[in-house]
Chain A
């Protein structure tokens, strides 16, 4: 009997003890959970990117339309106290870079090294400036890497088909011997297509440095059509934009501006870090939208990037149609005519915007199969391509991003 009483007392005490412990445990756990949530919530007041507190950063953006026949937009997130210093950077150093690169690689600038190259005789050696040397060296690298699919020596073909800057004006006036009355309604003569194609052998042009000076030796090729001689012409506008975007991004970093991006014409971008929180992206990354090649006014892909470069090429913006066939501004060096592959548009992401630009053009020219094979051979570069399928397209990519349906 005494044993039974003892058991009941111990049992009852156990229940009481358990209930008291449960309450205590609940209070402890609840307090801990709340403390953790509050800590996270309060720390969420701050936006920290790569160790930098950017909570109070504000955005500024400068745009100019004076270079590369397009816009150059530089966006920067910075503390309010740094706004004036960034404005000075824009007014001085950044504009200086734009002037230097655009002036050096433009095809019509008075002091342009590329204009001087284009005016030189076949086989002539000319002195060029450092910027042109760097851009030409990158162009040579891209030409060789892509097996000639990217080729800056097709400038005459680009002009023949009506896509050089002189066709961008409100009015078109036929001025070259090969110009048509209406270049958007008539195809160029085949003899010009073939002649200009033979001039585009970029392997025969060389660049080198000697005693601190820079030189280019023009390909020793010339063709004569209808009594007029033509020599190789270069157009480095595309690669020049990427080269320039990277230089500007580098300037921003050197000066402590780590947040923002540089866009030249939308086709060449150099992105730094993002100081905003964006839907679907991890902190610090930009969500970059890629325009649809078939659905005007829509984006088809989003890619998430920081501290990298990208470029996009495609035949869906600059083109005309004759008898239902599309002729775009991207010239296939192998045919001397607008490219005709299944790649509607290609974007390439990697550390060098100039090379991204060259590679994205090459992907369009190569077509899906060869393009994917080529990209496999590159380290540090990823891509997205829209491949033509009937009236639409499908997306091929190895990048971190998502298709927008």
Chain B
């Protein structure tokens, strides 16, 4: 090697920016892959559906802010807009249930029912994550957060 060439090498940095950039780009893609596929699924619910026995009563989407009520239950469902959400009353052959849909918090809570003396369903936790559910046993009514099957709850 000529002396000038040696001097150039001696003065040069160990790595130039362009030595590293291609690797950084590929690394970023690899990390993105990791984040997309290895992190748990997002669990915020996007809506919910209501079942009476084996029949779908209605469903709701927070994103489109719209209810879709089954023809068979159209007469039994009443929706009132209040307190930043909806108060939904569902009357079936088994009785009535009232639940509140909080649009801001994206939650649903059973607030009233004539199901039994103890009204257990009104004490169930509000649903807020994918798959959460509220079940009113005497009325065979179930509200399920959309997006998957519910995680078990015991109590």
Contacts and interface: CB of A to CB of B under 8 A. Distances in A.
Interface in B30-49: 30-34, 36-41, 43
Nearest to A37: B30
A398 interface: no
Interface residues of B, number: 52
B53 A40 contact: no
A38 interface: yes
A286 B31 contact: no
Given A12-B10, A19-B12, A44-B37, A288 B152 contact: yes
A13 B1 CA distance: 8
Contact of B135 (A12, A71, A271, A297): A71
A289 B40 CA distance: 17
A228 to B, nearest CB: 27
Contacts of A31: 23
A399 B43 CA distance: 25
Interface in A143-178: 167-170, 172
Nearest to A75: B149
B10 A288 contact: no
B125 A298 contact: yes
A267 B154 CA distance: 5
A292 B135 CA distance: 17
Contact of A299 (B6, B15, B153): B153
B155 interface: yes
Size bracket, chain A contacts? 35 or more
Contacts of B95: 170
B46 to A, nearest CB: 15
Interface stretch (A118-126, A229-237, A276-284, A370-378): A276-284
Given A16-B9, A172-B117, A288-B151, A41 B19 contact: no
A312 B109 CA distance: 23
A279 B30 contact: no
Contacts of B115: 170
Contact of A286 (B23, B39, B117, B151): B151
Contact of A40 (B27, B34, B109): B34
Nearest to A384: B154
Contact of B137 (A41, A65, A291, A299): A65
Contact of B109 (A59, A77, A263, A297): A297
A322 interface: no
Given A15-B10, A37-B31, A314 B155 contact: yes
A34 B30 CA distance: 7
Contacts of B151: 278, 286-289
B67 to A, nearest CB: 22
Contacts of A269: 152, 154
Given A41-B37, A170-B117, A65 B53 contact: yes
B27 A33 contact: yes
Interface of A is mostly: mixed
B26 A34 contact: yes
Interface stretch (A22-30, A103-111, A331-339): A22-30
A33 B26 CA distance: 10
B75 interface: no
A28 to B, nearest CB: 11
Contact of B14 (A23, A263, A347): A23
B1 A276 contact: no
Contacts of A298: 125
A106 to B, nearest CB: 15
Interface string A242-268: 000000000000000000110101110
Interface in A344-358: 345, 347
B138 interface: yes
Given A71-B135, A276-B148, A289 B118 contact: no
B152 A312 contact: no
Contacts of B33: 37-38, 41-42, 44
Contact of B30 (A38, A260, A265): A38
Interface in B115-150: 115-118, 120, 123-126, 135, 137-138, 140, 142, 144, 148-150
- For B149, B151, B155, which residue has the most chain A Cβ atoms within 10 angstroms? B155
Nearest to B133: A73
B142 A63 contact: yes
B79 to A, nearest CB: 22
Contacts of A318: 118
Contacts of A44: 33-34, 36-38
Contacts of A13: 1, 6
Nearest 4 A/B pairs, CB to CB: A291-B155, A41-B33, A44-B37, A37-B30
29 contacts: A12-B1, A12-B6, A16-B1, A22-B14, A23-B14, A23-B19, A33-B27, A37-B31, A40-B38, A42-B33, A44-B33, A44-B37, A44-B38, A59-B148, A61-B144, A65-B140, A71-B142, A168-B138, A266-B154, A271-B152, A278-B41, A278-B43, A287-B151, A288-B152, A289-B154, A291-B155, A297-B109, A317-B120, A347-B154
Given A23-B14, A71-B135, 4 more contacts: A19-B12, A279-B40, A288-B151, A291-B154
